[in-house]
Amino acid sequence: MNTRLATLVLMIVVLALFRLFPHPPNITPIAAMALFGGAYFTNRLAAFLLPLAALFLSDILLGFHGSMSFVYAAFVITVMIGWWLREHPTVGYVFSAALVSSVLFFVITNFGAWLTLELYPKTAEGLWSAYLAGIPFFRNTIVGNLGYTLLVFGGFWTIERSVPSVRLRTC
């Protein structure tokens, strides 16, 4: 395994491990893992599989719930946003991608909660209630996505400039 690929994999693993530490609700590295994988793994299969595997393995330890498929759907879309970031690697676009990922996660997972949980009636009012109930968590999602995205993209940018073998575009 070359140094660049090993560094990318290690960063995904470390992000997944951060999910296992105590944290406020929704302040997690999920979107950062997906954006980073999409942006830096040139092999699209690896861009999906490595972050998804890390997410899945951490979910085995954390537990699953009825709307997990919606979490994974948001994750997959976020990987695709990461593909777009590969062609637009500026701070502004990374920041924007983290925000868009936050909104997508909110919309998709709260819809999933409405659809799969018995907490909400299956009406327009019930859907609206699900979104309203998710608003306090949305702020944390934004904070987590921006913070972890800054950490992983900024960290890798620093490593690329400090370690010549990581700069190679061979993965």
Contacts of 159 (CB under 8 A, 6+ apart): 7, 166
Q: How far apart are the first and last CA of the chain?
A: 9
Buried/exposed code over 14-50 (b: 16+ C-beta within 10 A; e: otherwise): ebbebbeeeeeebbbbbbbbbbbbbbbbeeeebbbeb
What distance in Å separates the CA atoms of residue 11 and residue 3, rounded to the nearest whole number?
12
pLDDT of residue 169 exceeding 70: no
Could you report the per-residue pLDDT of 104-151, keeping only the tens digit for each? 999 999 999 999 989 999 999 999 999 999 999 999 999 999 999 999
DSSP three-state, residue 158: helix
Could you report the per-residue pLDDT of 28-59, keeping only the tens digit for each? 888 999 999 999 988 889 888 888 888 888 88
pTM, two decimal places? 0.86
From the list 103, 137, 133, 135, the residue with the least C-alpha distance to 117 is 133
pLDDT at res. 171: 45
